[in-house]
């Protein structure tokens, strides 16, 4: 990844930056020696977003696995806990 300062970015211009990124190279832009922005090829950026989504899905699955106590309640039981009778509910359908 190439790192350019603000003055280099100004000298190269947007067309030059886009051309560099189109060729597959990423560019970091530094201000006073600290990277403040990055330009990435669109395909790489899209892949990073997709990988982030995949990681978030994996975190959700793992957190559910870790917090699952194995307890399951049948629908019949829930209906009764809520004070309803299954036959009454069925008659209303």
Residue located via tokens 């190269």? 12
Predicted pLDDT of residue 8 = 95
- Tokens representing residue 32 in the block: 């006073």
- pLDDT tens for 45-70 read 999 999 999 999 999 999 988 988 88
Mean pLDDT of the chain: 92
Residues of the chain with pLDDT under 50: none
d(CA 65, CA 93): 36
C-alpha–C-alpha distance, residues 29 and 10, integer Å: 11
Q: What is residue 18's predicted lDDT score, i.e. its pLDDT?
A: 96
pLDDT at 85: 87
- Give pLDDT, residue 64: 87
Ordered domains of the chain (ranges, CATH): 1-40 (3.40.1620), 42-93 (no CATH)
Strands 2-5 and 34-39: unpaired
pTM: 0.59
Q: Looking at residue 93, what is its pLDDT?
A: 79
How many other CB atoms sit within 10 Å of the CB of residue 21? 19
Question: How high is the pLDDT of residue 52?
Answer: 96
């Amino acid at each position: 990844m190439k790192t350019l300062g603000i003055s280099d970015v100004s000298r190269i211009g947007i067309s030059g930056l886009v051309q560099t990124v189109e060729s597959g190279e990423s560019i970091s832009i530094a201000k006073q020696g600290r990277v403040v922005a990055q330009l990435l090829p669109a395909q790489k950026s899209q892949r990073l977003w997709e990988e982030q989504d995949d990681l978030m899905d994996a975190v959700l699955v793992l957190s559910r696995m870790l917090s699952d106590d194995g307890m399951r309640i049948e629908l019949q039981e829930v209906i009764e806990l809520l004070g309803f009778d299954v036959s009454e509910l069925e008659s209303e359908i």
